[in-house]
Structure 1
Amino acid sequence: MSGWRLLLTRPAEECAALAATLAAAGEFGSSLPLLDIEALPPTAEQQRIARELNRYCAVIVVSKPAARLGLALLAQHGPATLTPAWFTVGAASATVLAAEGLTVQFPERGDDSEALLQLPSLRAALAGPTPRVLIMRGEDGRELLAEQLTALGAHVDYLPLYRRRLPDYPPATLLRRIEAERLNGLVVSSGQGFEHLRQLAGDAWPRLAQWPLFVPSPRVAELARAAGAQRVVDCRGASAAALLAALQETPAAAL
């Protein structure tokens, strides 16, 4: 055990899975989901993209909700045979797609956009004269990934499938939870998760900004530091393994 007692903020199902993994490793995690996943209403544009999926040389799926909802859309409106190369940012999303028989590539180290862009298989998929890439995502996010793909000569389209909303909590829920369970670290899995953390913290944010904050990528680390977070730890990935490695490398401190 490293002495960490962490606030976990992923969607409820993912929080529960992460808490169980941490417990098996002797670490404590308290689940307070700050992201509710809400599927977007079906649109004609979604259906059109699904029908024309095979015009893309690569499809990038950025999260497990995008994987699940994208597969459901394709089951209704997609072509019988899927020909693009499939990529995910991390192993968890790849597992959802692979369960449906898709061959998926993802970075073995560093589940973030930067690691994905270094994959030789992705570069090979972009090697054609007019590469088109589809990013399955929520309402927003991964703009840097799209910019970098465009710089490599690809035309990039988005397929928005869901939105993330902050669940309704009574005032002071966040601070009460941290104090009641003697937590000494905060974990967020995305930029939007961090924004929801700040929103829920409200006037208590300057105090909570002193807590160690574990984030999944340099981009989220930069966002957190710009907002005043004083002790940011970049796990270089959103997986449980990446978090556990960061916990072992970062001494816990009493607060």
Structure 2
Amino acid sequence: MIIVTRPSPEGEVLTQQLIEAKIPAQHLPLFNISTGNDLFNLPSELTKLKPSDIVIVTSPQVTYIIKNNLPNLLLPTNIQYFAVGNKSAKLFSQLTNSIISYPKQEDSEGLLQLLEEISLKNRSVLILRGDTGRPLLVNTLTHQKAKVKLIECYRRNPILYPPNILADHIEKQVIISTSTEHLLQLEAYCHNKHKQQANLIVTSWRIFAKAKCLNWQKVLLIDGANNQILFKTIITLCHNASI
């Protein structure tokens, strides 16, 4: 059984793709997404940006929450836009005609490598994110003398399930975790037997390292968090094992 923990709509889409491919899958989102404390300040923060300043989009949820709550948002065209991954870039490009750059390695480390190509000193950098996350990105850009401002576009609200919701057929479970926040939330439902027998798929070195610190034994790191990569990975796993 594939356990998809990523939030809607990506989690629902991936789960449906797996079911259509005759692979048992369950969507078990660990968070609901709601508007963040800074979302409605975003229009005024954008007007303060100067040419060559930077906006960074950290997840697809940024675009979803903007489209649902700020449908008429005007984005400046004389600044640079970056996203952590392809899906985040593709979705945000629906809001602007500007180019959204993103790294081949779709995580904070990859984006930092991409940003090494430009000088950040004294540039304003708006980071559009959730209520937590991306500390490496924030700390590194601040160290490089960028004027970093965090915009909490959305909040993650934990969804509570019965403690034993993942207690059956642990040895056949493949759990997908696409963020450190998801991994930590799994602690409420996954215990020693899970960490020894279940397969855990993660999408960055940072999540991989945290999983190892939490004593997960069977951790597979894949190159990117988009559904296409996740789907192909699971298909390969299914061809090599009974899950």
Query: Residues 67, 90 of structure 1: CA spacing in aligned structure 2 closer, same or farther, 3 A cutoff?
Result: same
SS of residue matched to 2:191:
helix
1:217 matched to 2:204: yes
Deviation at 1:62, TM superposition (A): 0.6
Deviation at 1:45, TM superposition (A): 5.0
Q: 42, 58, 62: which one pairs with 1:62? A: 58
Give the count of matched residue pairs: 239
Distance in 2 (alpha carbons) for counterparts of 1:198 and 1:233: 18
Query: Residues 228, 251 of structure 1: CA spacing in aligned structure 2 closer, same or farther, 3 A cutoff?
Result: farther
SS of residue matched to 1:75:
coil
Unaligned 5+ segments in structure 2 are: none
**8 Å Cα contact 1:54/1:82 also seen in 2:** no
Q: Deviations over 1:88-146 (max 9, x none)?
A: 11121112211223321112x32111112222xx345x426522211100111101012
Amino acid at match of 1:36: N
Amino acid at match of 1:84: I
Query: Residues 128, 112 of structure 1: CA spacing in aligned structure 2 closer, same or farther, 3 A cutoff?
Result: closer
Deviation at 1:16, TM superposition (A): 1.3
Deviation at 1:19, TM superposition (A): 1.7
SS of residue matched to 1:100:
coil
**8 Å Cα contact 1:59/1:85 also seen in 2:** yes
TM-score normalised over the length of structure 2 = 0.84
Query: Residues 234, 17 of structure 1: CA spacing in aligned structure 2 closer, same or farther, 3 A cutoff?
Result: same
1:184 matched to 2:173: yes
**8 Å Cα contact 1:54/1:84 also seen in 2:** yes
CA RMSD of aligned residues (A): 2.8
**8 Å Cα contact 1:215/1:233 also seen in 2:** yes
SS of residue matched to 2:201:
strand
Amino acid at match of 1:227: L
Q: 129, 147, 156: which one pairs with 2:148? A: 156
Distance in 2 (alpha carbons) for counterparts of 1:92 and 1:245: 16
Q: 84, 87, 102: which one pairs with 1:92? A: 87
**8 Å Cα contact 1:233/1:246 also seen in 2:** no
Q: 103, 107, 110: which one pairs with 2:105? A: 110
Partner of 1:75: 72
Unaligned 5+ segments in structure 1 are: none
* Higher helix content, 1 or 2: 1
Amino acid at match of 1:14: E
**8 Å Cα contact 2:39/2:151 also seen in 1:** no
